[in-house]
Amino acid sequence: MDIWFVVSNTIVLACIYGTLAIGVSITWSSLGLLNLAYGFIFAFAGYGAWLFAQHVSSWGPAVLASGVLSGALGGLFVCALAFIPIHDKPNFTIRGLIATLAINLIGTQSLLWWFGPRSKSLPEIFGTWKFSLSGMTLTADKVGNVITSVVMLLLVLRWMRSSRRGLEIRAMMMNPHAASIVGIGVRRTSFYVMALTGALAGLAAVLLSQTYYISPFGGLTAMIKAVSIALCGGLGSVQGAVIAAVVLGLNEALTTVSIGGRYVLITQFLMIILILLVRPRGIAGILDRAREA
């Protein structure tokens, strides 16, 4: 077993999964909405980046930015359609879940209808260079993925810590009722949150498309992994999501090397079930009691 291969794979996977899972986690803890339209936003952002690369420019950073922007747009769309009309109606949690699932169905089928079933590939954003470092070969897309996602995550976390909007979002995460009493509008904040998490999904979509392709249903696996990582880390906790992303990335890399890629999901779910049996609210799940009240 190649230890360096496992480590580098773990890091790459953890970065991408972390980006996705933190988006799910933030949405859940601040809005109480479990965004299962994430797969659609993911594919939507991928197609946005692809259209940009086809028609405007295939310069790497611009494609990345267009993917992020179209992801944010998809997030806003989901927010306007699935959060705003029902967030104050009875039984919101389940209805929000089903509404986002419905948007996922409509959205992915529309993408299939519009773009056809053939998958598209994006240009190489980070170039095609590679170099070796003490027996480990680092390719451009791996290094680029890690650096971009870490930088973006740090930016997002810094923005959440230091800006006015970030303060509003964090207030909503702690107590939405109290936040609305002191003048933080639930609806306005929800648009910020959904744009932010949509942008993260778009980022992950473009980064993952360096390895895989863009297809109407390509977001599904990513979404299921993101949701299960967020669940495993404790819905609503950013640190928990990062820890879970590292643990599950390590698990995935180890499984691929030792028994084979087709058992990845099995070991992953066994792991999640084990973790959840020990800690039913996830690794760092603390906010939920307040959130569900």
Partner 1 sequence: MTERSQAQRTWRNPLFVWDSGQEVEQLPTASFVSHQEIWDTTRASSTKLFPVGRLRYYHKWAGHGESLWRRHRYWPTRRRVLRIRGEYNEKSLRREKTIVDKRPIWWVMGLIALALIPLITPASLENTLLTAGVTFGIYAAINLCWMLVIGTASIFSLATYAIVGTAAFVTAYSSATLGLPWWALPPLGAVVGLIFGGIIALPATRLDGFYYALLTLGLNELCRVYFVTSKEFGSATGGLYGAATYIPQDWSSSGQLQLAYYACFTLMLLALLLYRFVNGRRLGRILRMAPEKREAFAEATGVNYRQARVRVFLISSIALGFVGGFYSANYGGVAFSIFSFDTVLLGLAMLVIGGVGRSEGAVVGTLIVVFFDKVLITLGPMRLIIIGLIMLFVVLYLRNGLFGIKQQFRSWRNKKKSERRSTRAEKGGEMLPEEATEASSVDDVYRRRYDKMQREFLKRLLTPEVIDEHRRAPQGQHSEALERLLIYFRNQPQPDKYAITALQSIEGYRIVALSGHRGVAPRVVEDKIYRSPSEAYHGVFLRRVQDLLES
Interatomic CA distance for residues 6 and 229, integer angstroms: 19
Binding span for partner 1 by CB under 8 A among 9-17, 58-66, 99-107, 193-201: 99-107
If binding is defined by CB under 8 A, does position 221 make contact with partner 1?
A: yes
Considering only residues 34, 201, 244, 247, which one is a binding residue for partner 1 as defined by CB under 8 A?
34
In this structure, what are the phi and psi dihedrals at residue 183, rounded to the nearest 5 degrees?
100, 20
Query: Do 32 and 179 contact (CB within 8 A), yes or no?
Result: no
In this structure, what are the phi and psi dihedrals at residue 257, rounded to the nearest 5 degrees?
-75, -45
CA distances to 17, 19, 20, 178 from 242, rounded to whole Å, are 9, 9, 10, 28
If binding is defined by CB under 8 A, does position 271 make contact with partner 1?
A: no
C-alpha 207: how far from chain center? 11
Binding span for partner 1 by CB under 8 A among 90-98, 123-131, 159-167, 188-196: 90-98
Interatomic CA distance for residues 272 and 247, integer angstroms: 10
Query: Do 45 and 202 contact (CB within 8 A), yes or no?
Result: yes
Helix (H) / strand (E) containing 130:
strand 130-133
Binding to partner 1 by CB under 8 A, coded x per residue (else -) over 189-218, reads ----------------------------x-
If binding is defined by CB under 8 A, does position 93 make contact with partner 1?
A: yes
Considering only residues 62, 65, 80, 86, which one is a binding residue for partner 1 as defined by CB under 8 A?
86
Binding span for partner 1 by CB under 8 A among 55-63, 139-147, 156-164, 276-284: 276-284
Query: Do 214 and 46 contact (CB within 8 A), yes or no?
Result: yes
Interatomic CA distance for residues 198 and 210, integer angstroms: 19
Query: Do 20 and 71 contact (CB within 8 A), yes or no?
Result: no
If binding is defined by CB under 8 A, does position 103 make contact with partner 1?
A: yes
Considering only residues 62, 76, 80, 112, which one is a binding residue for partner 1 as defined by CB under 8 A?
112
CB of 38 to partner 1, least distance (A): 12
How many residues form the binding site for partner 1 (CB under 8 A)? 44
If binding is defined by CB under 8 A, does position 273 make contact with partner 1?
A: yes
Considering only residues 76, 138, 150, 265, which one is a binding residue for partner 1 as defined by CB under 8 A?
265
* Residue 202: how many other CB atoms lie within 10 Å: 31
Question: Which residues are at the interface with partner 1 (CB under 8 A)?
Answer: 34, 36, 81-82, 85-86, 89-91, 93-95, 97-99, 101-106, 109-110, 112-113, 217, 220-221, 224, 227-228, 231, 235, 262, 265-266, 269, 272-273, 276-277, 280-281, 292
